[in-house]
Amino acid sequence: MKNTLKKAALILVLFLGGCSSITFIYNQFDNLFPWYLGSYVDLDRDQKQYLDVLLVPFFQWHREAELPKYAQIIGDLELAIDNEVDIESISLITRNVEQSWFRLEDQMIIWVIPLVKELSDEQINKFIQVLKTKTIQRENKLLARNDQMYQSDNFKSLRKNLKRFMGPLTKDQLDLVKIASQEMRRVDGESIQSRQKFIEKLRIILQREQGWEEKLKDITHSDPIVAENYQLRYSFNTDLIHHLLVAILNSRNDKQDQKLRTQLSRYKGDINSLIR
């Protein structure tokens, strides 16, 4: 269930900060996740208990197989900032993050199949309807923006994330963020269309005719559901952000450098603590 489940573990483990530690969030995720899933489908008591059982091996796999890779990704970034940062280093780190994401998607699909078998047709239909409703809500929100609003949202998002890792940005750095935000190409329309096609394909698979399990396992690898135009624009924006990150990292002052290294060290320490 690609777009409904995939946002969980990787973002929580790598990038959530604030007043709660990664360790606390991760260790509470087995309690939080059923609540999140419950916003899409109503599970009865037996199904909830079964979900608890299924979560045990999933998190064991994630802790043993994936968390060391997350720590390595952070370590690679720490090494990259010891010298002048280049595009190749940032691109490699991004690819490693994406590969972690894809592995997480694949395992979530495999993990959720036994539970899907226990759902009634009514629960499946409601699940699909909730996906459609949320997509319509997202469409109304995103497509209502004009280009100026789109650029403003890009600017705020980039500035917020950079500030979280490096502290306040300088005027020159903010100018770089503003330029990148204005140059980014819109992908919200294509993203919504891709989402709609995905939901329709998922709806057909979840009719659970013979062989549906294998089709569900392959659903995250179905490139044809993503428009070529979306792929091109996404690649353009990704390259743009890579160059922005290189420029920002190479222009950081001592205070920003200290905060960045402290954040990375704290995240890696939390992840290594979870592994142990």
Sole residue written with tokens 């087995």: 30
For the residues 22-31, what does the mean pLDDT come to?
50
Q: Does residue 142 or residue 33 have the better pLDDT? A: 142
Residues 257, 27: Cα–Cα separation, whole Å: 30
- 101 and 6 Cβ atoms separated by less than 8 Å: yes
With bands split at pLDDT 50, 70 and 90, how would you rate the model's confidence at 230?
A: confident
What pTM did the predictor assign? 0.82
- 61 and 265 Cβ atoms separated by less than 8 Å: no
pLDDT digits (tens, 9 = 90+) for 83-92: 999 999 999 9
Look at the chain and report how many structural domains it folds into.
1
With bands split at pLDDT 50, 70 and 90, how would you rate the model's confidence at 40?
A: confident
**Amino acid sitting at position 261:** R
pLDDT digits (tens, 9 = 90+) for 236-254: 998 999 999 999 999 999 9
Count of CB atoms within 10 A of residue 66's CB? 19
25: pLDDT strictly greater than 50: no
Sole residue written with tokens 């993050």: 97
Sole residue written with tokens 């573990």: 9
Q: Does residue 10 or residue 253 have the better pLDDT? A: 253
Q: Residue 254: give the domain boundaries.
A: 2-275
pLDDT digits (tens, 9 = 90+) for 161-213: 899 899 999 999 999 999 999 999 998 888 888 888 888 999 999 999 999 99
Of the listed ranges 29-33, 61-65, 187-191, 252-256, the one predicted with least confidence:
29-33
Query: From the DSSP assignment, how many helices (H) and strands (E) are in the chain?
Result: 13, 0
pLDDT at 103: 86
228: pLDDT strictly greater than 90: no
- Six-digit token string for 273: 């603590």
Computed over every residue of the chain, the mean pLDDT equals 83
pLDDT at 23: 52
75: pLDDT strictly greater than 50: yes
pLDDT at 1: 36
Closest CA to 12 of 27, 4, 3: 27
pLDDT digits (tens, 9 = 90+) for 77-114: 999 999 999 999 999 988 888 888 888 888 888 888 99
pLDDT at 27: 56
Count of CB atoms within 10 A of residue 238's CB? 12
With bands split at pLDDT 50, 70 and 90, how would you rate the model's confidence at 219?
A: confident
Q: Which of the listed ranges 32-36, 63-67, 169-173 does the model predict with the highest average pLDDT?
A: 169-173
Q: Does residue 145 or residue 23 have the better pLDDT? A: 145
